[in-house]
Amino acid sequence: MTIPTTPDVASEPDADAPRARRPRRAESNKYSGGWFARRLPWWFAAALLLGGAFLWIYPFLWMVSASLKNQLEIFGAGLSLIPEAAEWENYSRAWNEANFSTYTWNTIIVTSVTVLLVVARCAMAGYVIGRYGFAGKKLVMVILIATFFVPTGYTIIPVVEISQQLGLLNSLTGMIIAMSGGGNVAAILLYAGYFRGIPKELEESAVVDGAGFFTIFFRIMLPLAMPITATVTLMTFLATWNNFFIPLVFSLSRPELRTLSVGMRAFVSENTTDWGGMAAAATISLIPLIILFVLLQRHFVKGFAGAIKQ
């Protein structure tokens, strides 16, 4: 007597069940960018990157080269970057005769104080917007974002009127207040996005220990937002250092208050332009920007990545 055995359901696949389709990795990677990158020789990719980098920095190299040439060689040498004889007198003329020594100190003072004011104000505003809910919060956000579309030229008239009434029109103090009193919406949103992602347990534990609002902000939250602070510092420094319109208005009647960007006009006269001296002055004004960017570039990228991730 034979006992019929039942087939093993687990071992035999169902004919009606859909078969799992295995991805064709070879075909999918064949047309992808990764396949092309793996087939691209490393020396060819390096050559492409070096060529693009050279084209990107060539205007800066040409400016430095022009600062060491005389007036005729700047236009006669064409695109050549190597001067026949270094004209260091261009830097001496820009620093002493064009009064760029005074303009440099004015720019340093205005930029430093403006950066401090903007970082402090935007950090506190971003902390409140990112961590607290209050009545009219959406309206405040709409007003802040709307300031993106208001050009600086449309606000300079009321700024000048208020500064004149306060007696700050022809002074570095008025210039600092005018440049640090803008919307700075990008900086506020960066801080708000970063603070929004910090766990609330930090604040709750600090409140239990008896810490107040300013203690929590300055001793806990602000040190944690150091990447955002570095990003806002660099952005504000670049915008203030290169600002032309506001320093021009606030130094029209007092040339000794000019900044570096406004001081470039000293090389342009009615009949001639001192291109060598202007190139030397531009090189002097760009050196602090390059040094600051090299020091803060790692924090700059980390700050943007952290704010976007939050």
* % the chain with pLDDT above 70: 83
Neighbours of 71 (CB within 10 A): 15
Domain range annotation of the chain: 103-256+281-309
Q: Contact at 8 Å (CB) between 310 and 194?
A: yes
Residue type for position 104: T
Q: What is the pLDDT of residues 91-106, one digit of tens each?
A: 888 888 888 889 999 9
Q: What is the pLDDT of residues 241-289, one digit of tens each?
A: 989 989 999 988 888 899 998 988 878 877 778 888 888 888 888 888 8
Average pLDDT, the chain: 81
CA separation, residue 59 to residues 23, 88, 91, 298 (Å) = 49, 20, 19, 24
pTM metric for this prediction: 0.75
CATH class of segment(s) 103-256+281-309 = mainly alpha
